[in-house]
Amino acid sequence: MGEGALRSPPSPELQLFSPDAEGRFLERPNRFVIDVELDGIRTRVHCPNPGRMTELLVPGATILLERAQAPVARTPQTRRTAYTAAAVIHGEAVVSLIPV
């Protein structure tokens, strides 16, 4: 670096999510939910990314899940799933499903 060049400070690690569980992708009934196998049980989780993602969401893919902050209930004001799909493991990469 030259004498007048500015050095960028080291950037802190960016953490987009804190996974609470891992599930195995089963299917995507619509753009906002996916079905995963979690502890041997078929579980419906929220998918925050409405994009198609057909190359990522393939049967058997590992999905990293975050537990929902809001309570689960069957009313229009609250969410209906206990988890949000935060990321998918694709090869060696962790691909975020949370739009930023």
CATH (domain of 37): 2.40.50.580
**How would you class 59 by CB atoms within 10 Å of its CB: exposed for 0-12, middle for 13-18, buried for 19 or more?**
exposed
**Structural domain includes residue 16:** no
Residue 67 lies in a domain: yes
Q: Is residue 87 part of a domain?
A: yes
Evaluate whether residue 62 is within a structural domain.
yes
Q: Encode pLDDT of 4-37 as tens digits.
A: 545 555 556 666 678 889 999 999 999 999 999 9
Q: Is 12 domain-assigned?
A: no
Could you tell me how many residues make up the chain?
A: 100
Please indicate, yes or no, if residue 48 is contained in any of the structural domains: yes
Residue 47: give the domain boundaries: 21-96
Report yes or no on 78 lying in a domain. Answer: yes
Number of domains forming the structure of the chain: 1
Q: What is the pLDDT of residue 6?
A: 52
Residue 70's pLDDT is 63
> Is the residue at 84 inside a domain?
yes
Residue 1: what pLDDT? 46
Give which of 12, 16, 13, 14 is closest to 98, Cα–Cα: 16
